[in-house]
Structure 1
Amino acid sequence: MTETEKSPLLGSRKEEEDEEVELSKCGATLCCDPRRFLHRYLVLIVMCFLSFGSYFCYDNPAALQDNMLKDLDISESQFMSFYSWYSWPNVILCFFGGFLIDKLLGVRLGAIMFSLFVTSGQIIFASGALIQNIYLMYFGRFVFGIGGESLAVAQNTYAVKWFKGRELNMVFGLQLSFSRVGSTVNMNVMQPVYNFIGKWYNGFKCLGVSLFVGAGTCVFSLLCAFALAFFDKRNDRVLKKEAATSDEVVRLTDVRYFPLTMWLICIICVAYYVAVFPFVGLGLVFFEMKFDYSPFLANNVNSLVYIISAVASPLFGFLIDKSGKNIFWVIAGVLVTLGCHAMLAFTFINPYVAMSTMGLAYSVLASALWPMVSMVIPQHQLGTAYGIMQAVQNLGLAVISLVAGIIVDSKGYLILEVFFMAWLCMALIAAVFLYLVDATRGGKLNLSAKKRHQEAEAVQEKEEEKKPLN
């Protein structure tokens, strides 16, 4: 995208004439000047809520697993198809979504458009439940998926645009935290909502109305997309920025030139996430069967990964910003998660221990992994790069969600846990290989925070020297 993200969005050319006046009126205040700390962090709050509705509704099936199985009269495999139908479109579409953000739509219009898909998909999903039509529900999850992961790509692109530098790990951690807040609220609220609505409706009608309540969070996130577009346009105009403007041309074929480190990051991402999200999707019944928990207690322990990560992600992101060494943090996160799955599979230790620890490990990995993309890919290709990462992740989630449901139906949860542990071993191998490859190329991804800052200052000095003198 050029010309300040196709500037007519939420603004006009006439506003450019007033930019100096605007800065003179509010440029000295903390909340109006885009260069100020407070302004950027107020925008960050809106940025974090951009995907709140998507994450809240993504795990609606997990929070209402027992009710869906009973009200819709479906099997575990059919239930897990709700997650697969979310993931299938993103095997391709979120890659093109990232490319469209870089090349055509821009991050502002892209975020609004993808938020509309999320809201529409949840409404269709709820409508399907209301009339007990599982195929309409599949279609709703498909539409929801078209927007969900591409919206995450837009959110990541926003984060790098506003906070690239020392704060990026913390910002990714905070975004992850707010996303997990959405999932956590869903896990703990949807069942009481279902019970409350059950006073007036029964069976699948109660389920459908409950899912319509969830759609309200998607509308809230859509409003955040409009607000963020306004703030981002104002930032580019006031600071005379050209969003993603340069002599660089974004081409789809440039993907083949992405470095090996980028593809290893993608492998780690998919191998790790398929051992977390599908497990949470099936965890409710697992804790009821193995530990003889009530649905309420099972839901509580199943949501611990999201609850812990909501609190821990920004803290670990801040710590990684201060320490650097991103690859070592990723390896630690994979190892700890592997230990947690082994504990759940082979022991009867209180599952609160394993799930709480898994939440910490997930926070560490996500906070360290996602910012590494911006360290190996130029900024004008970040939307495409994050789109590829989301696409690969969703290919894995789509396939593994189906396989996980089949394993549970035919072999049971012990074999399922061994299956997840095998994927974590693959993530560990890829992380070690990433460290070795990065080390042969200068160790950029695993620098300490101090050395990384020194290199950034050196690059900035070189760029200043290249600027022509007035």
Structure 2
Amino acid sequence: MAEYESEEEQRGLLQAEDEEYPTSDTQDEEGPRTPLPAICDPSHLLHRIVVLCFMCFLGFGSYFCYDNPAALQTEFLKDMDLNTAEFMQLYAWYSWPNVVLCFLGGFLLDRVFGIRLGTILFSLFVFGGQIVFAVGGLLKHFWLMEAGRFIFGIGGESLAVAQNTYAVNWFKGKELNLVFGLQLSMARLGSTVNMNIMGSVYKKVGESVAAGHSTLGVSLIIASTTCLFSLFCALALGFLDRRAEKILHKEQGKTGEVIKLTDVKDFPASLWLIFIICVGYYVAIFPFIGLGQVFFIEKFNFSPANARAVNSIVYIISAPASPVLGFMVDKVGRNVVWVLCAVVTTLAAHMMLAFTFWNPWIAMSLLGVSYSLLACALWPMVAFVVPEHQLGTAYGFMQSIQNLGLALIAMAAGAILDTRGYLVLEVFFCACICIALMAVVMLYFVDYLKGGDLNRSAADRARLLKEATSHSE
């Protein structure tokens, strides 16, 4: 999903000021409050760990069901009588609403629904969209499946914003980075589990319940139970957050995003280059994973189970690697160099897949590491080139054009595969990565001419921050 693991929201949310929660046994105007058991006390770590469990599973269903088409690509093509271009429309329809909702999601949570009701509504969109998607398969109505993916997309990305808002509201301070890492790992776990079990689910359904397109529909309905579980987590979080609001006298969480489209005209050249890197890179990752299963079956003679396994390795590696690589980038700095390494490694991986018959586990493992590294190094750079009051607009615009690129490239990739084959498709993905590579090189020189803020070491940044703080005082 447009990373999907949403680092752009995380960066904006980290600007929130640390606040200490009042303890639940402090006095108020009504007199002393009776101390609560630790697991029932919203100010206690044990209670917040329970809340964290619900937060982590809040997005599990969304990430599990997002790549249902990739996990069952062969089955979709056969049961629904689709060509690849039509199949990739399922990913395009997910991305279309998020071209706009990247700007509106935070506003709806802050000003219209509130975090609790907003989270429940977005979870309902995800669950309802998956049900419509499944019914489309059950009735063999592809237009209904497309409508389901559109509804699913309305809730998917906005639910990630809500998840991060809850994290900031409950874990401000030293625990926040760990919480974001756990949420990202759980998202990757959802994608990985989907890739590796949906084939077995389809097989079992076909043997015992239904046949043909009905097998696909029933399998997708079974997958929707993960979205129902996430909806339950949204309801539980709403209850616990409302209870904490009453006990601790705190306000509902805010996204921290301030969106002003008029700020776009003030974006510097370096930020536009970051946008180009983002689009050029991610359009060569997610559409490829969406089409990967049949690629590994046809080119490398893999069984469907092995094809799903190798196709999921990007997500498997990303789960543990993202926090580790993020820590490394924080300690070393030099973000542009890390982005350059990630882009070059990804280009090498796609070239290996395109022009060699080497074991694809090697290339896909490289892809998993480089994908995680780019996310850790690229998204934080936005905060280095725009003022704090423009961060919400910058991240919203970045996510918006990313979803626009994913929608367009998904359709283009399907058309290329139908008419030209996998080799030309891989060359196309390599060309997209080359555009990102040229943008990285240009970013390096633009940043160098402006003083090198993006490529400073972590020690230099700490020193400059200390000097600025001393001067301010």
Same fold (TM over 0.5): yes
1:119-268 equivalences under 5 Å are 119-156=127-164, 173-198=181-206, 199-228=208-237, 234=244, 238=248, 251-268=260-277
Tell me what 1:65 maps to. 73
Provide, for residues 238-271 of structure 1, a one-character-per-residue CA deviation record: whole Å limited to 9, x for no partner: 486785599x975443343344444333222211
1:30/1:207 Cα in 2 relative to 1: closer, same or farther (>3 Å)? closer
Between the aligned partners of 1:183 and 1:348, the Cα distance in structure 2 is 26
Between the aligned partners of 1:368 and 1:291, the Cα distance in structure 2 is 33
User: SS of the residue aligned with 1:349?
Assistant: coil
Q: 1:426 aligns with which of 428, 431, 435?
A: 435
User: How far is the alpha carbon of 1:149 from its aligned partner?
Assistant: 2.1
User: How far is the alpha carbon of 1:434 from its aligned partner?
Assistant: 3.1
Tell me what 1:283 maps to. 292
Would the aligned equivalents of 1:114 and 1:147 in 2 still touch at CA under 8 Å? yes
Which is further off, 231-240 or 40-49?
231-240
Tell me what 1:303 maps to. 312
Question: Aligned residues: percent identity?
Answer: 58
Which is further off, 252-261 or 21-30?
21-30
User: SS of the residue aligned with 1:92?
Assistant: helix
1:431/1:25 Cα in 2 relative to 1: closer, same or farther (>3 Å)? farther
Q: What's the TM-score, normalizing by structure 2?
A: 0.82
Which is further off, 384-393 or 334-343?
384-393
User: How far is the alpha carbon of 1:215 from its aligned partner?
Assistant: 1.1
Provide, for residues 382-403 of structure 1, a one-character-per-residue CA deviation record: whole Å limited to 9, x for no partner: 5544332221111111111111
Would the aligned equivalents of 2:129 and 2:148 in 1 still touch at CA under 8 Å? yes
Would the aligned equivalents of 2:287 and 2:406 in 1 still touch at CA under 8 Å? yes
1:161/1:331 Cα in 2 relative to 1: closer, same or farther (>3 Å)? farther
Which is further off, 53-62 or 311-320?
311-320
1:21/1:411 Cα in 2 relative to 1: closer, same or farther (>3 Å)? farther
Provide, for residues 25-59 of structure 1, a one-character-per-residue CA deviation record: whole Å limited to 9, x for no partner: 7799799576x887777655544433221111111
Between the aligned partners of 1:387 and 1:221, the Cα distance in structure 2 is 25
Between the aligned partners of 2:241 and 2:431, the Cα distance in structure 1 is 43
Would the aligned equivalents of 2:314 and 2:365 in 1 still touch at CA under 8 Å? yes
Would the aligned equivalents of 1:177 and 1:311 in 2 still touch at CA under 8 Å? yes
Aligned Cα root-mean-square deviation (Å): 3.7
Between the aligned partners of 1:163 and 1:428, the Cα distance in structure 2 is 37
Would the aligned equivalents of 1:187 and 1:299 in 2 still touch at CA under 8 Å? yes
Provide, for residues 195-250 of structure 1, a one-character-per-residue CA deviation record: whole Å limited to 9, x for no partner: 1112111111111111011111112223333445566674898486785599x975
Q: 1:95 aligns with which of 82, 97, 103?
A: 103
Between the aligned partners of 1:360 and 1:340, the Cα distance in structure 2 is 11
Which is further off, 204-213 or 260-269?
260-269
User: SS of the residue aligned with 1:446?
Assistant: coil
Q: Which runs of 5+ in 2 are unaligned?
A: 1-20
Would the aligned equivalents of 1:51 and 1:179 in 2 still touch at CA under 8 Å? yes
Q: 2:278 aligns with which of 265, 269, 289?
A: 269
1:103/1:456 Cα in 2 relative to 1: closer, same or farther (>3 Å)? farther
1:53 aligns with 2:61: yes
User: SS of the residue aligned with 2:401?
Assistant: helix
Q: Which runs of 5+ in 1 are unaligned?
A: 1-14, 466-470
1:96/1:454 Cα in 2 relative to 1: closer, same or farther (>3 Å)? same
